[in-house]
Each structure stands twice: as C-alpha cells, then as structure tokens.
Homo-oligomer: A and B are copies of this chain.
Amino acid sequence: MSEASIGIFDSGMGGLTVMRALMARLPHESFVYLGDTARLPYGTKSGETVTRYAVQAAGTLMRRRVKLVVVACNTASAVALPALDAALAPTPVIGVVEPGAQAAVAAAPDGPIAIIATEGTVNGGAYRRAIHALAPNARVIQQACPLFVPIAEEGLIDSPVTRFTAELYLGKLFADMADRPRTLVLGCTHFPVLKNVIAHVAGPDVILVDSAATTADAVAKLLVERGLASEASKAPRHEFLATDSAERFARVGQIFLGRAIEPASVELVDLQDAG
C-alpha cells in the first residue's frame, strides 16, 4: 500500500497549489489529482451540494486505490469532512482547514486572526471553530472574497483589477484600526497566487498564512505514523483527472502548479456514476 498514490481533489485547479507544496515536501510520493471542473466553483454552493460532490470525487479517487485522500479545497474541507471520513474509512482523509488553523494560531496565539475565503467557507464557520479549538479566546474575523477565485483563474497576478478587488475586501477586514489583525489566513487554495497583491494591500506588518505548506507537513506526519510512506527508490507518478475540458485544466492549472501541464496528460472522468 505504501507504493500507492496520494489522492488529491479540488473543485478545480486551485488545489494544485496544495499539490505543489506536497510535491516539494514529499518528492518520492506519487499523486493523482482530480479537479471537478464540470461543476466548479464549490465556494458559492450550499453545504449539501458541496458534500454530495465531494463524496463523489473522493469515490473516484478510491477506485484508483489511493492510500490517502487530501481535500485540497477549503470549501469542501470546511463542510464535507465528516461525510468524507464516514464514506472513506479506514482510508485517512486530510483537509486544509485544520492545518491552516494550526499555522494561524502558531503565528498569533492570542489573535486577532483574519480569514479570507469563499462564501461557502465563511458561512460554514469551520476556520473559526478550528481556531477556537486550539485558542478559545482568540478573536477571529472573516471576509468572503469570491472575486479572487476567477481573478486567479484569469492569471491576473499583478493588475489594477486585483489591487482594487483586494482594497475592496481587505478594506472591510482592516477597517477597525484599533484592533487590526496582524495575521491573515489565505483560506482558499486560489489565493496564494495573488499573495503579492494581497500582502501589499494588507501592509508590511501583516503575516500571511497559507495552509498548503502546513497541510503538506500534516500529510508527511500521517504517512510515517501509518507506515504508508513511499520508498525513495521509486520514480513518482503524477496523474491529473478532470471532469471537463483538459485544455483549460492544463492552461489554467499551470498558474497554480507552477510548472507546465500537458493537455494530453489530463484524463477526463465522469463523476455522475461514481460509487
């Protein structure tokens, strides 16, 4: 089983920022990444719908005999983790919310901690709960930033559009200067590609927390605990599955993965009939 791949899924391509961190942290592991591009985005959809989609996506990965499933979508991590644990047991499932909360509390044990995320993640309140489980008295403030998702997918890394959108959202978040948060959690896998603009608008005194790196640490630890780590001698495999448009997956995906993806290497799959 230790030679099996690690499964990763996301609503689309944003979760490739998590795959990028996993590849850097675990260079000997093989990965199979599934993006549910026919139904993205998840961030504006209800918890019930996101949970149904997430269980279908994870089921498709399980049929590829993965040893572990990483939920690289904040929205799905925020709302669907209990259903995924139940559906996939005994295969372990790791989301990105808890590692992100740990990193935020490590950076600012007493808060205030600011979270930016999709509407679905903010409304679900999972970051707030995960932070309060570690630091019951930390003040947490949240702001939905839905436009950052398509802006990142358009590759507008450094554009006035991105800057004014950041000012629109972060202006609300940092309005109370007396109790200004010094820690800002990037609670959506799309947001790390906009890090420079977000950091510039937030100001030099604000620490940005990106859950990709801490999620990779959590995965590494779990692999060792369960005796599932791959041998260093094997050449790792990197597979990509998408539910729509391999061409768009490859084109937009490389913004997030930070390396080229060949459209021919992306396999189209249908989740409708997945068990």
For this chain, the copies found in one complex come to 2
B154–A164 CB distance below 8 A? no
B248–A44 CB distance below 8 A? yes
Chain A binding surface, main DSSP class: loop
Does residue A151 face the partner (Cβ distance < 8 Å to B)? yes
Instruction: Please pick, from B38, B160, B168, the residue contacting A49 in the complex, using a CB distance under 8 A.
Output: B38
Instruction: Please pick, from B38, B44, B149, B164, the residue contacting A161 in the complex, using a CB distance under 8 A.
Output: B164
How far is the CB of A37 from the nearest CB of chain B, in Å?
7
Instruction: Please pick, from B49, B119, B149, B159, the residue contacting A164 in the complex, using a CB distance under 8 A.
Output: B159
* Docked pose: A168 CA to B154 CA in angstroms: 12
Q: Which of A153, A154, A164 counts the most B-chain CB atoms under 10 A from its CB?
A: A164
* Docked pose: A45 CA to B35 CA in angstroms: 13
Q: Which residues of B contact A243 (CB under 8 A)?
A: 49
A245–B45 CB distance below 8 A? yes
Does residue A272 face the partner (Cβ distance < 8 Å to B)? yes
How far is the CB of A10 from the nearest CB of chain B, in Å?
15
Does residue A244 face the partner (Cβ distance < 8 Å to B)? yes
How far is the CB of A167 from the nearest CB of chain B, in Å?
8
Does residue A64 face the partner (Cβ distance < 8 Å to B)? no
Interface string of A22-60 (1 = CB under 8 A from B): 000000000000000111100011100100000000000
B150–A147 CB distance below 8 A? yes
Known contacts A146-B154, A147-B147, then 14 further A-B pairs from the complex at CB < 8 Å, ordered by chain A residue: A38-B45, A44-B153, A44-B245, A45-B244, A46-B244, A46-B248, A146-B150, A146-B153, A150-B150, A156-B168, A160-B160, A160-B164, A164-B164, A272-B272
